[in-house]
Amino acid sequence: GYYQEVALIVKEGRQIGLTMPFLGCDGWANQALIAIGGKAMDGCYFTNHFSPEDRSPIVKEFVGKYREKYGSVPDTFGALGYDAASILCDAIKRAGSSDSQHIRDALAKTAGFNGVTGLISFDANRNAAKPVLVIVVRDGKFEVAERIAD
């Protein structure tokens, strides 16, 4: 589910005595999860493409520039959009042409692109291969617990 429902489910689960960590995915990535769920969310984990709490230099730079321009912290969609546009610009440069087939071929050859969501490559089926972040809620904050497959 999404953060609004999940926060209430976890709160109710804690009220009936459930103590195990709840697990989720990118639909949990919103500060309202903690605002609604409160302390009940501590110790819960979810996966995501991006976290502004990631301490890597490229993410810190992106978050700083985004905050400066928009007055807020970027969310997952902002990071994914930024990477998509950056990969396209990189492919156009590598193609050396505005011809769509040349750009498509350059996109297909994308490997090890250093984006704000991690190192990105495309496989033979044009699927993006990239890392996933495991986020934990600890003391009312999101923290990056682990980066997998970077």
Tell me the C-alpha distance between 22 and 40, whole Å.
10
pLDDT (average), residues 123-136:
94
Structure tokens at 121: 């490559």
In a 3-state reduction of DSSP, which class is residue 75? coil
- CATH of the domain spanning 57-129: 3.40.50.2300
- Give the predicted TM-score (pTM) of the model: 0.88
Nearest to 143 by CA among 62, 4, 63, 45: 45
Tell me the C-alpha distance between 64 and 102, whole Å.
34
Nearest to 119 by CA among 107, 132, 135, 131: 131
Residue type at position 71 = G
45-48 and 132-138 beta bridge pairing:
antiparallel
pLDDT digit string (tens) for 16-69? Answer: 999 999 999 999 999 999 999 999 999 999 999 999 999 999 999 999 999 999
Q: Per-residue pLDDT for 149 more than 90?
A: no
**What percentage of the chain exceeds 70 in pLDDT?**
99
Tell me the C-alpha distance between 80 and 132, whole Å.
13
User: DSSP state, 118?
Assistant: E
pLDDT (average), residues 66-77:
96
**Level-2 CATH architecture, domain 3-49+131-148:** 3-Layer(aba) Sandwich (3.40)
Q: Per-residue pLDDT for 150 more than 60?
A: no
Does 3-49+131-148 match 57-129 in CATH topology?
Answer: yes
Tell me the C-alpha distance between 55 and 61, whole Å.
10
Any idea where the domains of the chain sit in the sequence?
Answer: 3-49+131-148, 57-129
Structure tokens at 57: 């230099």
Alpha-carbon distance values, 150 to 5, 17, 125, 131, 136 (Å): 31, 37, 20, 5, 18
